[in-house]
Structure 1
Amino acid sequence: MTETDPLDIFLVTLPGLEDALLAEARALDFRDAASVPGGVTLRGGWPEAWRANLMLRGASRVLVRVASFRAFHLAQLDKRARRVDWAALLRPDVPVRVEAACKGSRIYHDRAAAQRIARAIQDGAGAPVSAEAEVVVKARIQGDVCTISLDTSGEGLHKRGHKEAVGKAPMRETLAALFLRQCGYDGREPVVDPMCGSGTFVIEAAEIAAGLRPGRSRRFAFEHLATFDAGAFAAIKGPAPAPVGAAQPVAFGFDRDAGAIAMSRQNAARAGVEALTAFGEQAISDLTPPEGPPGLVIVNPPYGTRIGDSKGLVPLYGALGRTLRDRFAGWRVGLVTSEPSLAKATGLPFAPPGPPVPHGGVRIRLYATGAL
């Protein structure tokens, strides 16, 4: 494979968010993008895989399919895995980890399948196999069809590279970005999070407003592949973004926890959006809109199965709803919760909620309003 050979690229996301990720991929001009269960497929050369890692806010990771074939038993898997041109994909000096998952196939032993593919890699590319390797080869054997992909991301893409401090039950950046998109946020209006925790919604919103690429501060597994061209990637990445200078804040975060506010400020500074964000320690009852036009209130309050008892949270949700109805005329609201009864307790005019999304052992939904 060369840089420009067409590849099958798979953008992984949480179930329920496929259409939101598809909208983002299309907005960034990725070719032949289509949603499928668990993610989005697209076509392109290796630079498109690099660009996806660098620019997509909602993808959890980016996989590139390198082989697909039928295999009815381990000997056949071994033989066909050896036909893959591993030397064109992997470097002999970079360790590799192989993960296999078997479902509904005559090959049913995950570990044995991974071992066969690992041997083919060692013999074909000379690459050492290590359980600690950053470069991962993923094999999925389903219905006797083996699909082999390279994980080009490495660490999950929610790890932007600049957020160190997190609080209880943090919202992943990728999830926050897709919820912001589902609420219609495009970076041109103010955002308020009245329970901001470590500042994920606020920082994502500020980065979007500043036009900052989410992967600008981190490295990726694809940089260790034989297919990587540092010069071509540097051209895609462009020069390092200039620091955001004196500017009016566009994203505002509040929390009763002084420690959460301190974490948020530190995270915003590391992300380079300190000038575009403002954080304050205050209760819901003290919340007021910032000066200027209305925008979006987005909030991920505690919900019973995660931090507190859901029945005990009804007064909190009720107070949030009253504050927003009384003081935030013209603003839209996005609320994330696992409990329909808590969303109802706000008294806010939510449209039917979005699809359930797995998060922290529960299934959450986004509840959104039009302008209040």
Structure 2
Amino acid sequence: MNTDQSFEIFIVTAPGLEAVACAEAQAAGFANPTPVKGGVTVTGGWREVWRANLELRGATRILARVAAFRALHLAQLDKRARRVPWAEFLRPDVPVRVEASCKASRIYHAGAAAQRIERAIAEGLGAPLSAEAEVVIKARIDDDLCTISVDTSGESLHKRGHKEAVNKAPLRETLAALFLRQCGYDGREPVVDPMCGSGTFVIEAAEIAAGLKPGRSRAFAFERLAGFDADAWQALRAAGTAPAPAGLAGRFHGSDRDAGAIAMSRANAGRAGVADWTEFRQHAISDLTAPEGPPGLVIVNPPYGTRIGDRKSLIPLYHAMGQTLMKGFAGWRVGVLTNEPALAKATELPFAEGGVSVSNGGLRVTLHQTGPLP
């Protein structure tokens, strides 16, 4: 592995949030960030790959694009796959698997394409093949162009190693981070989530304010690649870590009417190392009051109505939330996630037109935002 080598890095993110993820990559100092369908491309070397896994809050996974070539048929794919310098980034003693996809190409059988590339790796490098391998090669054949990438993350990056307790429909940390950014949150204001579930928004906001790196507690697939420098990686993990700024206590508030949700949130906050700065209380939405101090952001992922009857039964809940916020949260901005425009309308909150939409748990949801409430 040549740590000075530069190549294209693909930051996979939730479709619909590419521009938000691009803004994060730009703010983090990655070179040439460009939003594309399904993610963001940047350029850099293996150290930037490590840093992207460690620091980017909105990334689902990080792919290192290591080769690209034309392939019009399987024999050509086989031949050209054998020219890829696999030994530069794969180890002969570490199992590997290949995932392939084909789109608008003369090679249309993804399974056959994956087999050819697996054979090239096994015969050229000697690496064992395994359906359970941590190290995954992704081959994307689009318009006869085969792009070979290494999945450097392993498990999805929303799995940060802190949220063991979850409720029925947990919001992924990666989505929470991007929604917070979309709402203009930068770590310097208080955050309230009045239907906190397992605490994702509140914990994510506290981590951002404290400067905690999202990947600090987990392992990554790139640690199993050839030439991985464990000492350099540990130095990168330690770099930039500083004591949390003063004044974080009492700025991050979650509430829920369910006692189990409050217990989950507290446990998750403890594992994430933000328990001292977060507060979780059990009460109904109608009992919500604004914390003392300057206004900030209310962000909430309420229950969705997946069927018509569900939606109608939720209208009173959304209406009560809107009334509570309008009466008691002057100067606060509000972000509400929902899959149904009628539910957003039921809040009677002054939402701006439009709103970013994304798939969450198989449902298309939209982030509705207000400016400061009157």
TM range (shorter): over 0.9
What is the aligned partner in structure 2 of residue 83 from structure 1? 83
> For the Cα contact (< 8 Å) 2:61–2:153, is it kept in 1?
yes
Corresponding residue number in structure 1 for 2:372: 371
The correspondence of residues 27-176 of structure 1 with structure 2, limited to 5 A, is 27-176=27-176
Deviations 1:190-238, CA, capped at 9 Å, x for gaps: 0000000000000000000100000000010000000421122122111
Amino acid of the structure 2 residue aligned with 1:127? A
Which residue of the partner structure matches residue 305 of structure 1?
306
The CA deviation at 1:249 is 2.2
Alignment of 1:177-326 (within 5 A): 177-238=177-238, 248-305=249-306, 309-326=310-327
Q: 1:259, 1:234 → 2: CA distance?
A: 37
Query: 2:189 touches 2:295 (CA, 8 Å); kept in 1?
Result: yes
Letter in 2 for 1:144: D
CA distance in 1, matches of 2:320, 2:309: 16
Q: Which moved more, 1:302-311 or 1:252-261?
A: 302-311
Q: 1: CA distance between counterparts of 2:166 and 2:286?
A: 25
Residue identity opposite 1:92 in structure 2: P
What is the deviation of 1:163? Answer: 1.1
TM-score by length of 1: 0.97
In 1, Cα distance between the equivalents of 2:349 and 2:112? Answer: 54
- Given the superposition, is the C-alpha separation of residues 258 and 13 from structure 1 closer, same or farther in structure 2, using an over 3 Å criterion? same
Retained in 1: the 8 A contact 2:21–2:58?
Answer: yes
Structure 1 residue 247, shift from structure 2 partner = 5.6
Q: Quick one: percent identity of the two aligned structures?
A: 70
Q: Give the TM-score normalised by the residue count of structure 2.
A: 0.97
Distance 1:279 1:371, change over 3 A: same
Separation in 1, partners of 2:299, 2:171: 12
Seen in structure 2, the aligned counterparts of structure 1 residues 307 and 231 have a Cα distance that, compared at 3 Å, is: farther
- Give the direction of change, closer, same or farther, for the CA distance of 1:174–1:306 in structure 2 (3 Å limit): farther
Q: Which runs of 4+ in 1 moved over 4 A?
A: 239-247
Contact kept? 1:243, 1:272, Cα under 8 Å: no
Post-superposition shift, 1:50?
0.4
Q: What secondary structure, in the 3-state scheme, does the structure 1 residue paired with 2:306 have?
A: coil
Change (3 A) 1:227 1:218: same
Q: Is the 8 A contact 1:63 1:152 kept in 2?
A: yes
Cα shift readout 1:281-313 (whole Å, capped 9, x = no counterpart): 000010001111110000000110189811111
What do the CA deviations read for 1:253-297 (whole angstroms, capped 9, x no partner)?
Answer: 000110010000000000000001000000001000111111000
Name the SS of the counterpart of 1:164 in structure 2.
Answer: coil
* More displaced stretch, 349-358 vs 8-17: 349-358
Q: Name the amino acid aligned to 2:22.
A: L
Residue pair 1:66, 1:148 contacting (<8 A) in 2 also: yes
State the shift of 1:124 in Å.
2.1
Report the count of equivalent residues. 372
Structure 1 range deviating more: 300-309 or 21-30: 300-309
Give the SS at the match of 1:213: coil
Q: Structure 1's 247 and 368: CA in aligned 2 closer, same or farther, altered over 3 A?
A: closer
- Root-mean-square deviation (CA, aligned residues, Å) is 1.7
- The answer for the alignment partner of 2:349 in structure 1 is 348
Deviation by residue 1:45-78 (Cα, 9 ceiling, x = unmatched):
1000100000000010000111111111111100
Given that residues 211 and 241 in structure 2 are in contact (C-alpha distance below 8 angstroms), is that contact kept between their aligned partners in structure 1?
no
1:301 corresponds to which letter in structure 2? P
Q: Which amino acid aligns with 2:371?
A: G
Does the 8 Å contact 1:203/1:273 carry over to 2?
Answer: yes
1:336 aligns with 337
In 1: Cα distance, 2:16 partner to 2:227 partner: 32
Letter in 2 for 1:43: T
- Three-state SS of the structure 2 residue aligned to 1:32 is strand
Contact 2:6–2:44 (CA<8 Å) still a contact in 1?
Answer: yes
Cα drift, residue 239 of structure 1? 6.4
Unpaired stretches in structure 2, ≥5 consecutive residues = none
Mapped to 2, the partners of 1:243 and 1:211 lie a distance apart of 9
- Contact residue 209 and residue 248 of structure 2 kept, 8 A: no
Separation in structure 2 between the aligned mates of residue 331 and residue 3 of structure 1, nearest angstrom: 46
User: CA contact under 8 A between 2:105 and 2:141: conserved in structure 1?
Assistant: yes
Determine if contact 1:13/1:60 at 8 Å carries over to the other structure: yes
Q: Given that residues 169 and 307 in structure 1 are in contact (C-alpha distance below 8 angstroms), is that contact kept between their aligned partners in structure 2?
A: no
| Worse-matched range after superposition: 354-363 or 255-264 | 354-363
* Residue 291 to residue 246, structure 1, CA distance change in 2 (3 Å): closer
